[in-house]
Chains A and B, each alone.
Chain A
């Protein structure tokens, strides 16, 4: 009897596995087949959902292991860097680098057009003793107060009426520019600085004098004068 039961158990299991068993009790064969179908349905339900979750779970585990230090984190691409938490810091660094690089390259060598100006100007005094070019403010702001690399000048470049016009790229005369410069004309002062720097129109090259006029022009809010002034200082052509 026990042997029969053991055989039946084995036959039932074989039928369950899909093996064709001959001579098996019909009732138990049907039983095994029904159980097989039911189990198969359960398994199929799960198998249907698993392939979609496979890669998702894989990525999740990789990330978790990377965070715990078991795998090295891949270096982020530029787009990932900009979309991550540090995007503002990265943008700031890139922006600052561009500003710095721009500042390094700027040097204006063309004389400017000195237009007749209208209103009276108040010259903003420059205090070199408080403007350390190697300090933070000296690095990022010109003596005139403008942010370096952005072309921003001071707010004191008010137009001033004048009768002289012989201080332009076409007709650049030292005397004409000097007269205009004495009338608080920023462009004329820039042109004087340029003439001293380049030794134009018979003017003896003198970087120190160039610095003085650039400084005066920058004090009136001329950004280009400010850049040229920085250029002279940083190239160590003049002592500040």
Chain B
């Protein structure tokens, strides 16, 4: 049934695409009606209750400040890119778009976005990595008010009971996770889904070990994959990691089934809501003592699609408001993000010590698309497939990675 449904969606989008190919390309900024519009549409994927409410507050504040009414649409994360593509083909793109930063270059590559310099939005003071994530062919198309990254969260009670210190290196992590495992409980939980989510969770191990996305079959890469596989095979992490999303991982942690988890800062609000749970946060352990972890930079960037002069200018005003320092701090507080400007983040860390581990990591975080650009999704899919293949014992690490390198190169 759903094969037909899929065919349907495709065909219906194709239908609109065909019907509209005759239309002239959308006017560049400044073209069309020049009067600034009073209403714009905005699309995001903050679909969870807490995140959605927090984002709504930001939009309301900026709506009040600019006098522009914002009609908000929210879709589940997985529906984001299909929705944008549909909008692109039917020329009904939202006026303001907040999308996951590794997808930005892909959207920009379609030609549907406008450079932020058109609206007088400067890039001074931002983390270098977030600017890179928003840049396509030397122009900045997207900027984020806040960014995030992965860290190691641990259950203080369980670690104290076992007499284990929060780990800082791979060896310590393995020893701690092994000690904390047993009788249906596991020391560590992480997500290894065959999707971007799985790649994103593996990258801190991959990059911190010095591996490179352009060379998936390197020795460093195999070493990282073997390390993660070993955690699962030795019983320090559940074999179910291949089916767990990051939300499932958080569920396991909250339920006390996992003593530690690899997860993002956006979970902190949820963990705080669990009164009985005492948790701590440390950076992701590194291969050797003294090293610095390299996590992938997360977070959503705001972009302005080419929809006509008036609405683009209005969207520009709203985005400028969202990127001001007070809004940045408010959003970061509400959703446990790290402000995307270096100075603001520093002050933020002094105010909220629980975020310090994340702020430290963002300093060395890497943009997933900086090096590979729009080729990244293909490489990411290949790497996630290798991860699954090795974790389930289908292929040894080297073989799986060699195949991934081949798949990502073609």
Answer yes or no: do A and B interact: no
